[in-house]
Amino acid sequence: MSRFFATGSDSESEESSSADEITPKAPGTTFKQSLLLSDDEEDTKRVVRSAKDKRFEELTNLIKTIRNAMKIRDMAKCLEEFEQLCRAFLKSKNIVDKEGVPPFYIRLLADLEDYLNQLWEDKEGKKKMNKNNAKALSTLRQKIRKYNRDYETEIAAYKENPQESADEEEEKEPGDSGSSSDSDGEGADEGVSAKSFLKKKPEPTSEASKFLKKGSGDESSSSDDDDVEDWGSDTVDSGSESTDEEGEKSASLAMVFLKKTQETEKPEKKGERRKKTKKRERLEEEAEEEEVEGGWEKVKGGAPMVKEKPKMFAKGTEINVPVVVKKLNEILQARGKKGTDRAAQIELLHALANIAAENNLGQGIMVKIKFNIIASLYDYNPNLAAFMKPDMWKKCLDCIDELLDILFEHNNIFIGENIAEDSENLIISDQPFRVRGCILTLVERMDEEFTKIMQNTDPHSQEYVDNLKDEGHVCGIIDRLLNYMETKGSTEEVCRIYLRRIMHTYYKFDYKAHRRSLGLQGETKSEQDQEESEGEDSAVIMDRLCKFIYAKDRTDRIRTCAILCHIYHHALHSRWYQARDLMLMSHLQDNIQHADPPVQILYNRTMVQLGICAFRQGMIKDAHNALLDIQSSGRAKELLGQGLLMRNMQERNAEQEKIEKRRQVPFHMHINLELLECVYLVSAMLLEIPYMAAHEFDARRRMISKQFHHQLRVGERQPLLGPPESMREHVVAASKAMKMGDWRTCHSFIINEKMNSKVWDLFPETQRVREMLVRKIQEESLRTYLFTYSSVYDSISMETLSEMFELEIPTVHSIISKMIINEELMASLDQPTQTVVMHRTEPTSLQNMALQLAEKLGSLVENNERVFDLKQGVYGGYFNRDQKGGYQQKQSYQRGMSRPSPANMPLTCCREAGNPVFLLTPFTDQKGGYQQKQGGYQRGGYRNQNHQNNY
């Protein structure tokens, strides 16, 4: 007994004195210590301990608390202590990196996970838990499963051979205590007490089951541990008396432990042998179960819990249709409830279907069970944004195929949503089967799930390709249902399934039909036979399905989607006039803004495809008009449903972002955005460059394409112009060459190997598109050349122009004639000599600037008059003038209209503006002058545009 407890009773003091008499002491030791150390110094004796011992002691204390909480099923305490244990282990990271993860830590993680799994499976026990403990159990189970992923290999090694893990732990711990022997006996003895707690020999039953059973053995072992701890602390206290006592105590302590290990050696061997036999038996049972069931997989870790299959019916129960229906309703009542195991529910339904098939209860009950199995597969993921796992997806497709097989084989089965459950007929009789359910809704949901799978798969992975192969299966199911609905479905249902078929067809290019239209045949005989055996072309299918919807559908949405898909398909196959006429006759552009977002995305995709089709056909202006709205917005990617742009959280919150992601089009349906932009910029170049050359000094010149002008400005701002690299740089370089009338350079920038690989080779008829582009570049370069350099020529031969631009003379004649008729070019054709004679009516640069000055001064006077009238209180005085020669004699002035031509501009305006009259006389006195009509042509070079701004 330590002398610190000497203040006890008399009996205690007598016992302690007798104990002191029995223990031999070295003479003079106590006297020397009393001289060297005072009582205060003895009380505050400092112990030096290593960081490892401190950290591991903290861990063992927390582990002990967790184990105590496990014994009394205090889940809230377990959760709290486990979080503290994780934090303490994180603090010990440096020590763990050097020494490795301590075995007692791995042992706790494994035991805790098994314990939680057993509690989770104990349904009755969970119901008896209070709310806090149940919530803590769920949270702790999730945390431990996530946390144990980092230690899977260590836990697996422990579970495979827990005996060896415990032995290793015993071997390591004496070494650890020996390493800290530089400190004194207190640290060593405390380490022993902690280890004695951890050195629980594993028995055949798992640690988690011990806690669940609450056996008396646990109490005895814990009391033994407490005794050992008390004894250890006692030795620590008495160790401060003398160094001799320390030596004797440590020697006796070693003897005690050696004796214990020798005594427990034989039971350990027996327990180990018993455990090995049990493990072998369990493995044999698992192998037999695998052979019987065929679908079980081996799980890593300890002994799996053997789950007994729930018994469907009691022994001796007569199985008939009412009994099966009652059991089916019992299973379905748990659907959607919290804590329901959805996978187990699906297995129960499959088992019920097998029982119904074994007892020949008829196809009516089979159809009803199949309906519920498919619905349960859809409900497996409660979250709408989540997509089906591959195994569930395969099961779903197989179940729908089986259901369709039953419906096709038995014509006496009627299904429908309008059939009430009371009026169902599932019993075999003379009457046909009547089952409540809608196969069309299931197939539509299957199609939506397929879209979600494709949306959530990486498009650049092999997995996407594998998933895309399932589209053939999906289309096959839709075709089978289409044939079924044509005979037994209503008109509305037929329209719905027709639309599903259309949505899987409209975006696919029919290469075989294209080859047949070109008169090409397959290279081998097998390919030719395959083409002959194939059914009708996709164009015929689309025409038949869409026309049925046009005639029979009563809902605007299905008809709108069918029209857009039909236009898209026409445009994809270069049937420009049919696509254009159908778009104009439908008048969809008038009210498409009121449609729902998926239909608007489909409309945008259709307009883009229409523009690309017009470009392939050489309709440059139509192509530009069709693509203008999409490209000018700068959000083509988002408008086409091919991705989201980065925005602020103020514009779009997280919920809206999820909704927009669900609207995205799968990757295999995307339209190439680079091809789209290239087509738009090339179309804008072919329109804008001649227009810029024709209206060089027009102050009110409008822009045909703002995006194209932006690209030109970006190119002009570059300090160093190197060879073009991107697609935009190629178009800008080609535009600069076309301004100068250099069609060959323009052609080399637009059509080259880099542009072919990026853009032009993506078209079906690549060569025809390139030839069309070359032709358009030659024609527009000729127009630009005449606009830019006509002031230099008195006359020019059409033969020379034909050689310069490599065009036929009739083509050159046609282009120049159109320019003269439209009053774009002031010239005339001399037929005998085949020359173009210029009229020389173009204004000079000085005259152009004078005209601009007159316009600006006129607008200044108008603004001054308006401000003056507002101050005087007279409204509209300037605009109500009826004087002859007034500023607005024939038309009211509107900002944004084309300006009056100088020939029609009255002299009074110029006098009011203080402008000399002679500036306008050269244009007003000539008959058939250059600008007889409003908005007439003005001459000037694009090169001198900067004079306008500087002036």
pLDDT tens track for 216-265: 444 444 444 444 344 444 433 444 444 444 444 444 554 545 544 444 44
pLDDT value, residue 73: 86
Residue 429: pLDDT over 60: yes
Stronger pLDDT, 648 or 944, i.e. the higher one: 648
Sheet holding 835-838, edge to edge: 795-797, 835-838, 827-830
pTM more than 0.95:
no
For tokens 């990757």, name the residue.
667
Say which amino acid occupies 149: R
Categorise residue 100: left if φ over 0, alpha if ψ from -120 to 50, beta otherwise. Answer: left
Using alpha carbons, list the distances in angstroms from residue 234 to 3, 161, 761, 831.
11, 36, 90, 129
Alpha helices in 122-206 (DSSP H): 123-128, 131-147, 152-160, 162-179, 185-198
Q: What percent of the chain has pLDDT over 70?
A: 68
As a whole number, mean pLDDT of residues 630-655 equals 82
- Confidence label for 497 from pLDDT (cuts 50, 70 and 90): very high
Q: Is 416 exposed, middle or buried (0-12, 13-18, 19+ CB in 10 A)?
A: middle
Say which amino acid occupies 790: S
Residue 510: pLDDT over 80: yes
Residue 649: CB partners within 8 Å, gap ≥ 6? none
d(CA 903, CA 214): 110
Question: How large is the angle between the packed helices 243-263 and 185-198, nearest 10 degrees?
Answer: 20
Residue 137: pLDDT over 60: yes
Q: What is the mean pLDDT of the chain?
A: 75
Question: What number of CA atoms fall less than 13 Å from residue 708's CA on the CB side?
Answer: 26
CB atoms within 10 A of CB 806: 10
How does strand 433-436 pair with strand 413-416? parallel
The 10s digit of each residue's pLDDT in 682-741 is: 999 999 999 998 887 766 678 888 889 888 888 888 888 888 889 999 999 999 999 988
Cα–Cα–Cα angle for 231, 233, 237, rounded to 5 degrees: 115
Say which amino acid occupies 720: L
Residue 892: CB partners within 8 Å, gap ≥ 6? 879
Sign of CA pseudo-dihedral 69, 73, 77, 79: positive
Cα–Cα–Cα angle for 409, 413, 418, rounded to 5 degrees: 145
What SS3 state is found at 250? helix
pLDDT value, residue 862: 92
pLDDT value, residue 310: 54
Which pairs with CB-CB distance under 8 Å and at least 24 residues apart come from 811-815?
Answer: 811/779, 812/782, 815/779, 815/782, 815/783
DSSP 8-state symbol, 425 = B
The 10s digit of each residue's pLDDT in 80-118 is: 999 999 989 888 888 888 888 888 889 999 999 899 988
Residue 608: pLDDT over 60: yes
pLDDT value, residue 228: 39
Stronger pLDDT, 198 or 453, i.e. the higher one: 453
Q: Cβ(428)–Cβ(362) under 8 Å?
A: yes
The 10s digit of each residue's pLDDT in 302-329 is: 444 444 445 677 776 778 888 888 888 8
Q: Cβ(749)–Cβ(724) under 8 Å?
A: yes
Give the range among 14-18, 639-643, 852-856 with minimum mean pLDDT: 14-18
Stronger pLDDT, 949 or 58, i.e. the higher one: 58
pLDDT value, residue 134: 87
pLDDT value, residue 526: 52
Stronger pLDDT, 882 or 823, i.e. the higher one: 823
Buried b (16+ CB within 10 A) or exposed e, 115-134: bbbbbeeeeeeeeebeeebb
> Where in the chain are the domains?
51-160, 318-473, 672-795
Q: What percent of the chain has pLDDT over 90?
A: 34
d(CA 759, CA 744): 20
- Confidence label for 874 from pLDDT (cuts 50, 70 and 90): low
Categorise residue 294: left if φ over 0, alpha if ψ from -120 to 50, beta otherwise. Answer: left
Residue 297: pLDDT over 70: no
Q: Which of 747, 694, 738, 676 is nearest to 712 (CA)?
A: 738
d(CA 539, CA 782): 40
Question: What number of CA atoms fall less than 13 Å from residue 829's CA on the CB side?
Answer: 17
DSSP 8-state symbol, 297 = -
Residue 611: pLDDT over 90: yes
Q: Which of 502, 564, 576 is nearest to 539 (CA)?
A: 502
Say which amino acid occupies 892: S
Residue 886: pLDDT over 50: no
- Confidence label for 380 from pLDDT (cuts 50, 70 and 90): confident
pLDDT value, residue 472: 93
Report the C-alpha dihedral over residues 272, 273, 274, 280, rounded to 10 degrees.
Answer: 110
Q: Which of 867, 848, 854 is nearest to 908 (CA)?
A: 854
Measured in whole angstroms, the distance separating CA 292 from the mean position of its chain's CA atoms is 41
pLDDT value, residue 283: 63
